[in-house]
Amino acid sequence: MRVGRIPYINCYPVYGAIDAGVVALDAELVTGVPSDLNAKMARGQLDVSVVSAIEYARASERYLLLPDLAISCDGPVRSVLLLSKLPAPELGGRRVMVSRSSMTSVALLELLFANVWHATPEFVPGDAELTDVAKFADEPHDARLVIGDAALVLGSGPQGPGPRPYPFSYDLGAEWKRWTGLPFVFAVWVAQRSTSVDRALAVHATLMASRSWGLQHLDQLADRAAHASGVNSGACREYLSGLDYGLSYPHLAGLTNFFNRLVEVGRVPDGTLAFLGKR
């Protein structure tokens, strides 16, 4: 069995006990950014993995969702930010740097521009994981999407201004909540439909056990996250405790709402949810 995991600190509560040797995973862990894991799952090179929510919707006929396991927020997420030199509604025709390393964040950003900010910018490829603002100047742009640990380093908080020269900072989780009133699911865990159900269920049970340990040891994980990211441990603790790693009915409502909006604009073919379960 090959199991994918994202190296960002937001995955620490799910994999922390496995990394610490507290919970044993009978599988090979494969680390990659979301776009890499999405591609490996699409090619059948992984059996179970965390993937972008939009990757599941894009090819739901290939995958089964692992129950009650996701990376979600119900308000500010803190690690997915639009940093802008102008107010978002004024970015029509302007260059906005985005990254394909997080398909879900890009899709959410496009929906917010179309439905909330009512602007049509020019989306151009860029690095969403840079933490050195000075390097941003090499790319002509008016705003940029920043994700993962880089967003924690650069962001001043869920509602605050961004770093110079970005006086406007938008937390995409908070913007979605304000728009729809629902939680937002950024990533889900899936199994290939071709994978043995029993083996996939065993991996799921291990991940759930590791998550339970992780949520009980957030202080320990926050210290580890601080060392990895350069963000102080208090901020890391606040960040990790603000995320939700389950997939409750409200989260499913948010996920379905997101998928339905993507179906309407032709981004994904289907918004159906199907879960891994005993045969």
* Angle at which helices 103-112 and 34-42 cross, to 10°: 110
Could you state, in order of their start, the residue ranges of all structural domains in the chain?
2-72+184-264, 80-180
What average pLDDT does range 129-139 have in this prediction?
59
Q: What is the pLDDT of residues 116-127, one digit of tens each?
A: 999 999 999 876
User: Does residue 130 register a pLDDT over 80?
Assistant: no
pLDDT of residue 35: 86
Whole-model pTM: value is 0.92
Domain 80-180 has CATH 3.40.190.10: yes
Contact at 8 Å (CB) between 121 and 96? yes
Structure-block tokens of residue 198: 């029993």
Same fold across 2-72+184-264 and 80-180: yes
What average pLDDT does range 101-130 have in this prediction?
88
Residue 237: what residue type? R
DSSP one-letter code for 10 = G
2-72+184-264 folds as: D-Maltodextrin-Binding Protein; domain 2 (3.40.190)
Residue 69 belongs to what H/E stretch? strand 63-73
The mean pLDDT of the chain is 90
Separation CA 26–CA 1 (nearest Å): 8
Separation CA 196–CA 217 (nearest Å): 32
Respond yes or no on whether the N-terminal peptide bond of residue 167 is cis (omega within 30° of 0).
no
